Amino acid sequence: MSALVTYFSATGTTARVARELAGAIGADLFEIAPERPYTPADLDWNNKSSRSSREMADEGSRPAIAGRVDSMDAYDTVFVGFPIWWYVEPRIIDTFLETEAHDLAGKTVVPFATSGGSGLGRAPERMAALVPEATVLEGRLLNGRLDADELRAWAEGAM
């Protein structure tokens, strides 16, 4: 079984976890990179008109991604990592899932996230609605220090 670890990370926390996860299970890595990177001002959740606030206030917002996964065909399991934004997945994750929905059909999608303390909330359920032909698992919050063996055991259980 072959796995791909994809992730979006605005400030590097999820990126680090994604690299550890990919390393632990020998998976390939793909960054869901925004066409226009997020600046610190874009990420200001105290400002209602910041880019992230505007995107998260708009269910239909789909920030553009730079690049596509080369050969989704090669993978059975696709991990999708992201920071929790306003209790759910950032809209760019919705862009990714919609763009790849056709290629994700029949595969297992495993959400994982980092946060300031919130859980995954309704993110897995929301993600499942965007890739109806994939199996989206409950996923896991991967905050804090991760034990490589525990990470491997969890990830392999999902594959």
Ligand X SMILES: Cc1cc2nc3c(=O)[nH]c(=O)nc-3n(C[C@H](O)[C@H](O)[C@H](O)COP(=O)(O)O)c2cc1C
**Contact footprint for ligand X (CB under 6 A):** 9-15, 43, 45, 52, 83-87, 114-118
- Return d(Cα 149, Cα 158) in angstroms, integer: 14
Residue 48 half-sphere exposure toward CB, CA atoms < 13 A? 0
Q: To the nearest whole angstrom, how small is the minimum distance from the Cβ of residue 13 to ligand X?
A: 3
Which of 139, 134, 37, 36 lies closest to 82 in space, CA to CA?
139
Q: To the nearest whole angstrom, how small is the minimum distance from the Cβ of residue 133 to ligand X?
A: 28
**Which stretches within the chain are classed as H helix?**
13-25, 51-57, 91-104, 123-130, 148-158
Q: To the nearest whole angstrom, how small is the minimum distance from the Cβ of residue 34 to ligand X?
A: 11
Q: To the nearest whole angstrom, how small is the minimum distance from the Cβ of residue 101 to ligand X?
A: 23
Residue 115, token pair as written in the block:
């946060």
| Closer of 43 and 101 to ligand X (Cβ) | 43
| Closer of 25 and 113 to ligand X (Cβ) | 113
| Closer of 38 and 107 to ligand X (Cβ) | 38
- Return d(Cα 29, Cα 27) in angstroms, integer: 6
| Closer of 42 and 103 to ligand X (Cβ) | 42
